[in-house]
């Protein structure tokens, strides 16, 4: 069975600083995909970044980068130059490549950006 673990219930970061949100995963499937989503107080799920298990390079999307360490089964999200608007819940999620499978989510990390 797949499992996503986010051990940081809450994080604080100073505006303009970088922050790393931790995510570890467990799966027996050799093919899988890892996702990060942002959920503001409105509830919508905003897709941030994706990493495939066979991708050689770490994914980057603007201020977001994913530190993928396959041997450690970790997929940490790095947000550079934090902004006040980054304050939200952040969820790490995973899916298997085989079949029409749903995303499995971690418990999330609440990020608060301080001015």
Summarize as ranges the residues that interact with other proteins (CB under 8 A): 33, 35, 42-45, 47, 50, 91, 95, 100, 102-108
- In the complex, what is the shortest distance from the CB of residue 112 to other proteins, in angstroms, rounded to a whole number? 14
Locate 31 and state its tokens. 């093919």
Find, among 102, 47, 98, the residue nearest to 77 by Cα.
47
How far is C-alpha 82 from the geometric centre of its chain's CA atoms? 15
For other proteins, the closer CB: 21 or 108: 108
- In the complex, what is the shortest distance from the CB of residue 49 to other proteins, in angstroms, rounded to a whole number? 9
- In the complex, what is the shortest distance from the CB of residue 90 to other proteins, in angstroms, rounded to a whole number? 11
| Dihedral-angle region of residue 81 (phi above 0 means left; psi in -120 to 50 means alpha; beta otherwise) | left
């Amino acid at each position: 069975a797949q499992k996503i673990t986010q051990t940081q219930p809450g994080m604080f970061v100073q505006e303009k600083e970088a922050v790393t949100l931790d995510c570890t995963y467990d799966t027996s499937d050799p093919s899988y995909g890892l996702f990060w989503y942002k959920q503001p107080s409105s509830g919508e799920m905003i897709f941030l970044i994706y990493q495939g298990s066979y991708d050689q390079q770490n994914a980057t999307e603007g201020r977001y980068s994913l530190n993928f360490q396959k041997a450690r089964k970790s997929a940490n999200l790095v947000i550079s130059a934090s902004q006040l608007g980054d304050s939200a819940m952040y969820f790490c999620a995973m899916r298997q490549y085989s079949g029409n499978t749903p995303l499995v989510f971690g418990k999330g990390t609440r990020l608060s950006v301080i001015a």
